Chains A and B, each alone.
Chain A
Amino acid sequence: MAYLELQNLHREFAGGVKALDGIEVQLGQGEFLSLLGPSGCGKTTALRLVAGFDRPDEGRIVIDGKDITNVAPSKRDMGMVFQAYSLFPNMSAAQNVEFGLKIRGKHKGERASRVGELLELVGLGHAGDRYPHQLSGGMQQRVALARALAIEPRVLLLDEPLSALDAKVRVQLREEIRRIQLELGITTLYVTHDQEEALAVSDQVAVMNRGRIEQIGPPAEMYSRPATPFVAEFIGTMNRLEATIADPDSGTVEHGGVSLTVDAARGRRRGERVLVLIRPETVELTPADGSGGENTLSGEVIAQTFLGPVTRLKVVGPAADLIADVSTAKAATLPIGMKVTAALPATDARVLELSDPVAERAPELDPVGQ
């Protein structure tokens, strides 16, 4: 049975802006769910409804079988870590962590031991007497996490807690959040626009778009079997080839006058317009030798982006433009301007019905950050 349920939540703001358009979420006790999506997709609105800072126009929020839709935020027992630094500036780190316990009337001894325990848990046992302005951004968010956990919340809510931190601290802290979450077995709802972050820490990921959940599932499934073009593009980078099913038996599709074999196209309707999605890391590039070959497209390398162990190459050809991730060592043999042959995998490509490709497209993403 689900521990936290969001049932058909709707929320519309002034001016007819639909922030949530009937989202459904079921989260088991101790699970970690990330709400992932671009800015304005409604993920923070959903979190705020769960926290009680806003009320839905329609729908219910249920925790452990009890409807809490109209319960005041102070009575919900939710621990929350905010995007903005939210420590109380007039209190030290220890006093911040102690705040919720004082409100609950815990005894001084109990408070002191719990505060010490939690500060140790987040690696700040030595910094209890420091004030927020004496802590770095990462440390402040750790204290905020300890403060949220101090009250032993029923659900831990995290609203893009790492977005203001630098890349290294972000990775470090997200691993710590996951470690602590697993250690305490606390049900967690995490909001982020960073797909890498969501995939790294979650049991379940829900990709949101325009107030709706496009797909929900384990990270590996979201990456390997995206249900919509939007999800496919939002999670990782995808090559999109609009094609027509030429032979459903062999899985042959036609794209720009070239025949390609894609296993996932088997069994579809002949003549159906589809979108073939191919991950850049599955595209194999070799210097063109004029022989062509099966399942290949030809083109010219026009750009290289160094990403560390891999380099991303942009290939422009008569039939399609492609992005391919190759090892940095191999990229050195494929300089800008070189004619190449791109071999497309028959087995790893995903095929989706082409309904409205323009509308379904995920927002432009940073090619390095994906």
Chain B
Amino acid sequence: MKARRGTAPTSYFWLLITGAYFFVPLLATFLFSLKSNQTGKCCTAASYTWVLHQGDFWHTLKISLLLALETIVISLLIFVPTIYWVHLKVPRLRPVVAFLALIPFVVPPIVMVVGLLDVYRGTPSWFYAQPWGFLAAAYVILAFPYMFFSLDAGFRSIDVHTLTEASQSLGASWPTTLVKVILPNIRSAALAASFLTLAIVMGEFTIANLSAFSTFPRFIQAVNEAQAYPAAALTLMSFALTWGAMLSLLLVGRKRGTRAAVLTGAR
């Protein structure tokens, strides 16, 4: 490849190294997943077929995807107005909230789940015994730092005060200002926060395992313990699924941006 003027050849070298670091394990996993369970020789798609025929695969995948969606919705509903309020009314509290947001990083999930199981003991069974209740609540806590720092960056990139005051002077109420003016302008940040939350929920094992809920990571772990080649296939499929889900979120979130671009082009 001919280097563009101004681009150092070493850039391509480092790009190659970084690319290899990322793709070689994937390639190795892929080649491994193509081996036959019986003969141990290449190449067959039997592992993929086996995974797709497992009822638990679809069941746990559905639970994890729905859980991710629920966590994203709850987190956005809680954190967007809260961080907006902090930026607008009590900016001196921002460092305090940032500190609180770091706690889920500091407290290991294994400690957190023991605490949460204890705290929520005695709550109604529709909450305590269902992934949509207990697990979603735990994941909202787990996603807090990712939500906070992404949204915080979004709020810092816009002039919250001026936009809010401009909207209010035109007669908009607080909810209208938040939904019509603020939210569309932190869309990228909200999307980034949603991606991270999705990735966390799709990969979280400790809390789900200790609280005995069947989620996708637990299915991966179960397969991993029993069968080597299908486990490799499942790993790649989970990787593709997570990226696919992220892409869907991106496409949904960027619909309005596309409209802006079209209008610009039509000018």
Whether a CB of chain B sits under 8 angstroms from the CB of A173 is no
Alpha-carbon gap, A76 to B172, bound state (A) = 11
Contact segment of B125-133, B241-249, B258-266: B258-266
Which chain B residues numbered 58 to 83 have a C-beta less than 8 Å away from chain A?
none
Q: Give the residue of B158, B166, B172, B185 whose beta carbon is less than 8 angstroms from that of A80.
A: B166
> Does B163 lie within 8 Å of A86, measured CB to CB?
yes
Whether a CB of chain A sits under 8 angstroms from the CB of B176 is yes
A118 to chain B, nearest CB (A): 13
Interface size, chain A (Cβ < 8 Å): 34
A190 to chain B, nearest CB (A): 15
Alpha-carbon gap, A76 to B163, bound state (A) = 17
Q: Give the residue of A52, A90, A92, A103 whose beta carbon is less than 8 angstroms from that of B170.
A: A103
> Does B173 lie within 8 Å of A74, measured CB to CB?
yes
Alpha-carbon gap, A107 to B171, bound state (A) = 16
Whether a CB of chain B sits under 8 angstroms from the CB of A3 is no
**Can you list, as one digit per residue, whether each of A123-138 has a CB less than 8 Å from chain B (1) or not (0)?**
0000001110010000
**Chain A residues positioned under 8 Å from B170 (CB to CB):** 74, 79, 99-100, 103, 147-148, 151
Alpha-carbon gap, A78 to B163, bound state (A) = 15
Alpha-carbon gap, A147 to B256, bound state (A) = 22
A72 to chain B, nearest CB (A): 8
> Does B171 lie within 8 Å of A100, measured CB to CB?
yes
Alpha-carbon gap, A75 to B163, bound state (A) = 17
A298 to chain B, nearest CB (A): 55
> Does B168 lie within 8 Å of A90, measured CB to CB?
no
Which chain B residues numbered 130 to 176 have a C-beta less than 8 Å away from chain A?
158-159, 162-163, 165-173, 176
Do most interface residues of chain B lie in helix, strand or loop, or is the interface mixed? Answer: helix
> Does B166 lie within 8 Å of A82, measured CB to CB?
yes
Alpha-carbon gap, A86 to B256, bound state (A) = 20
Closest residue of B by beta carbon distance from A84: B162
> Does A74 lie within 8 Å of B159, measured CB to CB?
no
> Does B256 lie within 8 Å of A129, measured CB to CB?
no
> Does B256 lie within 8 Å of A151, measured CB to CB?
no
**Can you list, as one digit per residue, whether each of A53-90 has a CB less than 8 Å from chain B (1) or not (0)?**
10000000000000000001111111110101111111
> Does B171 lie within 8 Å of A151, measured CB to CB?
yes
Q: Give the residue of B169, B187, B264 whose beta carbon is less than 8 angstroms from that of A79.
A: B169
> Does A84 lie within 8 Å of B159, measured CB to CB?
yes
**Chain A residues positioned under 8 Å from B187 (CB to CB):** 90
> Does A148 lie within 8 Å of B159, measured CB to CB?
no
> Does A51 lie within 8 Å of B166, measured CB to CB?
no
> Does A51 lie within 8 Å of B165, measured CB to CB?
yes
**Chain B residues positioned under 8 Å from A87 (CB to CB):** 166
Alpha-carbon gap, A88 to B264, bound state (A) = 16
**Can you list, as one digit per residue, whether each of B181-223 has a CB less than 8 Å from chain A (1) or not (0)?**
1001101000000000000000000000000000000000000
> Does A73 lie within 8 Å of B169, measured CB to CB?
yes
Whether a CB of chain B sits under 8 angstroms from the CB of A104 is yes
**Chain A residues positioned under 8 Å from B263 (CB to CB):** 92, 129, 131
Alpha-carbon gap, A151 to B169, bound state (A) = 10
Alpha-carbon gap, A82 to B187, bound state (A) = 24
A80-B171 contact, Cβ under 8 Å, with A89-B185, A92-B263, A131-B260: no
B160 to chain A, nearest CB (A): 11
> Does A131 lie within 8 Å of B264, measured CB to CB?
yes
Closest residue of B by beta carbon distance from A101: B170
A104-B171 contact, Cβ under 8 Å, with A90-B256, A92-B263: yes
The 25 sampled A-B contact pairs (Cβ below 8 Å) are A51-B169, A53-B168, A74-B169, A79-B170, A80-B166, A82-B165, A85-B162, A86-B159, A88-B163, A88-B181, A88-B185, A89-B158, A89-B185, A90-B260, A99-B167, A99-B170, A99-B180, A100-B170, A103-B171, A129-B264, A131-B260, A134-B264, A148-B169, A148-B170, A151-B171
Q: Sort A-B residue pairs by CB-CB distance and give the 7 closest, nearest first.
A: A100-B170, A90-B184, A86-B166, A80-B169, A103-B171, A73-B168, A86-B162
